[in-house]
Structure 1
Amino acid sequence: MIAMMNETFYPPRPARSQGLKGISFVTLAGLALAVLALASSMLSALNMRYEVTPEALRIRSGFSTREIPLDEVTGVWRPEALTGGVRKFGTSVPNLRTGRWRFNETGDITLYATRLETLVVVDTADGRYGVTPENPDAFTDALRSRLPAGFSPAGGSGTAAASMLIPLLLVAVAVPTTLYAVGLPSRFPQTLRYELGPDGLTIRTGFRPVQVRYADVERVEVASPKGYPIRIYGTAVGSLLWGKFRWPDAGPNLYLYCTRMKPLVLLRLRDDRTIGITPEEDERFVAELRKRMG
């Protein structure tokens, strides 16, 4: 008996592979912005400071310094209480409040704050700002008299607040790093292929290959199942389908390794699994597979 040689079949190119790259880019860009925001919040907890000069109030927070000309200041006051605090965007951890907020007593306000019980509100023509100097009375006097002075935020070092943000920062860094290293959305369509060997089918995905012995295949057919797949885990973007799916008309325990949705080559296995693949020459693939199954 002459042994059959290996034969490789390739899937069609996914119609939206460029879109996948765009989605990956947008995802990574969004995560990069999240990393930057978290890093800025951590630095704010460590380096926040208020400097009064004869010309301006300088607020250092994170990577930036906000300068408010004193000529634009229309009022400096302290609320007796704060209620109804709503964060619109920014940071909210113990001993650190930054970003855009709203309170019943202040309305919309931009905070560069730690402990809100020392809040000083600075009104200007174009907005309202909130700071929390360690000595609010001395800060208010310096601001009104334009005497040069520097003030630390209430609560001293923000090491505790910064440490609370470290786990979030690590996650935010790990996710884009993993996506870049693995590169599933862009790697999978380029590496996917189906190899018919002497004893079985090997599905090359760019990661761990999927092995299917001919003896385990009950039947194989080209089909266009009704409805659409629901992802249980894996990737489902555009015409790229990789992982485990629920699709009753396709079969039970469905695993897809495809670059298009229909038609599929469906392999019904004796262990009650169904595997769906998309070789471009699907009819020839099925004929060759049946020949090797005997």
Structure 2
Amino acid sequence: MEYYLQLIINGLVVGSIYSLVALGFVIIYKATKVVNFAQGEMVMAGAYICFALTVQYQLPFLLSFIITLVFSVILGMLIERMVLRPLIGEPIISVVMVTIGLSSILKSLVQVFWGTQIRVFPPILPQEPFMIFGLPIAPVYIAAFVLCLLLFAVFSLFFKYSSLGIAMRATAFDQQAAQSMGIGIKNIFALSWCIAAVVSSIGGIILGNINGINSQLGHLGLKVFPAVILGGLDSLLGAALGGLIIGVLENISEGLARDLLGLGGFKEVASFLVLVIILMIKPYGLFGTEEIERV
């Protein structure tokens, strides 16, 4: 039982990072109806920028973190203004293909500047583990989980009470109606990409402090996609719960596969098995808005 409790705790930590990255998917989709397949590469880019500032340029981690967030805002704005805004009115498949091309470009740039080997952040927090329910938990795991919960609370309050958050919700509900009320749709699109880039970078930095980073970190976007589908592509609550569920499911399935079948690496496919089942049973996810078309 201690072994599986440890798996659950680790799964909640990883799942909270999945939730944070899934939040970026949902924000962009709600505002623009575009699925961003470069989300994982945005995670990777933010992690490498913070690593370079901290290790190569010897800046304090907190300062590196803040500069990385500024970089993420600029990156999100540049992507929206230079790459996606010219495609307004074009078929959705064209925009999706552009995000796939963007993911390849970001991954290639990272490999050019930093190579493909694993890079490790210097220890930021104490290494002595805390004992929770008799289990040793590293401080970085606790900090990651708490930070993700805090960020979700902040963004939830932002979307519910701030004028910009209300404008984003109105745009997601009906773009034409929002524009008729004086809301700048293009500015909302840019804000959506900036927020998605910021939360992706934070997720990459957290994950980098736990496992290190390499050019394969960009695959996180595909690993998070089942969490997005599980919760619902247009649901912030779904992103939070979907990420946690998938994180725990991956760890538990890996433990069971090792114990019962002697197989390793099962967690790499477990989430996609869930994805297939979800799409067959509940295509709009747990909290997604079901669209009914009448003809």
Normalising by structure 2, we get a TM-score of 0.20
More strand by share: 1
Normalising by structure 1, we get a TM-score of 0.20
Considering only CA atoms, is the larger Rg found in Structure 1 or Structure 2?
1
More helix by share: 2
Q: Compare relative contact order (CA 8 Å, sep 6+) and give the higher one, 1 or 2.
A: 2
